[in-house]
Structure 1
Amino acid sequence: MATASPSTEMEVATRPLERLEDGFVYRFAAMHSPCELRIETDDSRLAENAGRAVELEALRIERTYSRYRDDSVIGCINASAGRPVRVDNETRALIDFADRAWRLSGGRFDITSGVLRRIWRFDGSDNVPTRDQIIAMRSRIGWGKARWTDGEIALAERQEIDFGGFGKEYAVDCAINALRRMTRAACLVNFGGDLRVTGPRSDGQRWRVGIEDATQPGDMAGRLEILDGALTTSGDARRFLLKNGVRYSHILVPRTAMPVKDPPRSVTVAAPTCIEAGFISTLAMLHGRKAEKFLKQEGIRAWCVR
């Protein structure tokens, strides 16, 4: 497993903390997202150290599992050309999670579908792939074609894997674990709208969280309160294609290699961990027009915006 080198901490520039009425906020960018730690303490040194710990953990996960780095674990697996690759324990746990998610979702959640980014670029344009491009990509998708046994993975011909469906959420959980090792202060970690808290606020109250309006990016659709656990939101407020009046969601169905039809504009889910909440919110989106029915049947606490 790739880990942060001794020089990594020196690479993280010192950032002034913003003092809040009830603590501090520490902001940085990672995984193509704005990230922040909110910590309720009067100790500025603790807040700075906690912020750096959260940032370093985010950078570690990004470097270890980025699909864009040839030297990442994912890069090495994808370059293996079908040869078996033995992975470390952390990666093994993540692939086990992806395998369970694939089985529980009936194949809707598939870490081999990330290869579709080669033809689908959700930049707000009208550049929809051709039918031939889509058909050609389908043969490369299917977790069932890969071999995963006792910590060893072998991909089928031209296959790739991608942890983009849960990497950021996993990083939030890792950051929370790092914080709990260093402080009992009340903390909230938010990576691009996927967030988790260490528990109640310092006064025992719930955290208040704004939910973005998927139909009006930048505006709030409402506010939720959270005492413990995580909240994630899946949606297409900023990532989509629009052609001939048809809006194409960035949530892609692995079996068809096409955007899911008629999904909610966003689904927000509460769960004990961020990686669980992220999986459920994405799976709900993959149910398209039946998203609300799926969530109700499963008894999941969720908020949908159409």
Structure 2
Amino acid sequence: MLQGLSITKQENDGAYCGSFFAMASSCEVLVECSEALCATQIIEAVFTEAKRIESKFSRYLKTNIVYKINHSAGKPVCLDDETCHLVDFAYLCHQLSDGLFDITSGVLAQVWSFDGSDNIPDRAQIDKLLPLIGLHKVTWQAPYLTLPKGMALDFGGIGKEYAVDCCLAKAVDIAATVPVLLNFGGDLICNGSRQNGSGWTIGIESVVGVKPIVLSLKKGALATSGDVNRYLLQKGIRYSHILNPLTGYSVIDAPRSITVAAESCIEAGLLSTLAMLQGAQADPFLAQQSVDFWIQK
């Protein structure tokens, strides 16, 4: 057994469940398979891939490509193909969102800490960091990236969703017809219906006082963005952990929770985050995207 991974068989339906912690989230792999060896191979492959991606793109480690980029002191860094792919995607997201999605905005964590308190940073603290934000300030000509001194990249906005998609691909490579569901901290994907033809039953964490949302997922992905657990509260105003990189300030008029269904988890995650950044216009924004979505206010 791989360290940090737990595998059990569910008595109610015979599915195998793998549990572990990665990317600051509780992760779960459900495999509907009668053969223990096959189920174990799938779960271990998912675990290994999740840990690989976490090790490679976490901003908290000092041995990976993100650390190398963020400590390059304005010098060009040559990126591998996978990192190039993520940077290209980040630039596309930045362009499509008119700058609202920005992987250089992680520096705002220096003044924002969403612990449920009333500790709101003042304007001067935020303004001091704004010059260090803006993907357009980064020089990118694959495979070379040049990050201005003092700036930093953070793939946290797409990293977990990217990992979910990659992990499902690993599972399918082993046994394409075995039903698999991945749930990484509320970001989910499955490769198809269960063996009896029904969908996977999914419960979305609900806002206090709101009836829980229960869905049946037969194929594709779900991703949820919101401030159910991460927020600040001051003078009756709730400040979401979703930050606008153009202003450096919290989006205070957004829904409490937005869940989006899409073909891939990275697409669902992007749309749910962009919808949160639209604030009060989240509903019409998602209605224009031709996707299924659920909003809790």
Residue 206 in 1 paired to residue 199 in 2?
yes
Corresponding residue of 2:129: 137
Letter in 1 for 2:186: G
Contact 1:124 1:241 in 2 (8 A): yes
1:234 aligns with 225
Q: Which residue of 2 aligns with 1:197?
A: 190
Structure 2 residue aligned with 1:286: 277
Match in the other structure for 1:168: 160
Partner Cα distance (1:285, 1:147) in 2? 28
Q: What residue is the counterpart of 1:264 in the other structure?
A: 255
**Percent of pairs identical after alignment?**
45
In structure 2, give the amino acid aligned to 1:64: K
2:7 and 2:16 in contact (8 A); partners too:
no
In 1: Cα distance, 2:155 partner to 2:251 partner:
19
Alpha carbon RMSD of aligned pairs, Å?
Answer: 1.5
- When residues 280 and 42 of structure 1 are mapped into structure 2, their CA distance, relative to the original with a 3 A threshold, is same
Distance 1:14-1:105 versus aligned 2 partners, 3 A rule: closer
Q: Which moved more, 1:158-167 or 1:220-229?
A: 220-229
Corresponding residue SS for 2:132: coil
Task: Determine which of 214, 221, 233 is the counterpart of 2:212.
Answer: 221
Displacement of 1:215 in angstroms is 3.2
Q: Structure 1: 5+ residue runs without aligned partners?
A: 1-9
Aligned counterpart, 1:298: 289
Q: What is the TM-score normalised by the length of structure 2?
A: 0.96
Matched position secondary structure for 2:31: strand
Match of 1:264, SS state, is: coil
Partners in 2 of 1:36 and 1:242 — Cα distance? 31
* Number of the residue aligned with 1:41: 33
Map Cα deviations across residues 150-197 of structure 1 (whole Å, 9 max, x no partner).
221111231101001011111101110000111121000000000000
Tell me the number of residue pairs that the alignment of Structure 1 and Structure 2 aligns: 295
What secondary structure does 1:110 align onto?
coil
Distance across 1 between alignment mates of 2:50 and 2:211: 26
Does the Cα contact within 8 Å between 2:70 and 2:152 map onto a contact in 1? Answer: yes
